[in-house]
Structures are given as structure tokens and as C-alpha cells.
Amino acid sequence: MVETGERIETIILKDYNGQDIAIGGKKKKIIFFFPKANTPG
């Protein structure tokens, strides 16, 4: 689990248009995850 303020390795993710986005390194980012609407969890 990543703690608040902890640095992570660079991770490549896809955005909703299919474009690659690099997360990690020296730039600060906020990552927010949420379950799909109307699903248990």
C-alpha cells in the first residue's frame, strides 16, 4: 500500500482516450480510485 507522501516508481496508465500517462517520479499527482456506479463494494 502506498502511504501519503510516499514516492512511487513511474507507472504508465491509459486515460479515457487511450493515451499513455506517466505517474510517479518527481512530479506530484493525486490518484483517486472509485468503484463503478451501482456496483457492490
Q: What is the pLDDT of residue 28?
A: 67
If you count DSSP H runs as helices and E runs as strands, how many of each does the chain have, helices first? 0, 2
Threshold 0.85, pTM exceeds: no
Nearest-CA neighbor of 23 among 7, 41, 39, 40?
7
pLDDT at 1 (0 to 100): 73
Give the pLDDT score at 24: 72
What is the model's pLDDT at position 19? Answer: 93
pLDDT in tens, the chain (41 residues): 778 777 777 888 888 899 998 877 666 667 777 777 766 65
Predicted local distance difference test score (pLDDT) of residue 2: 73
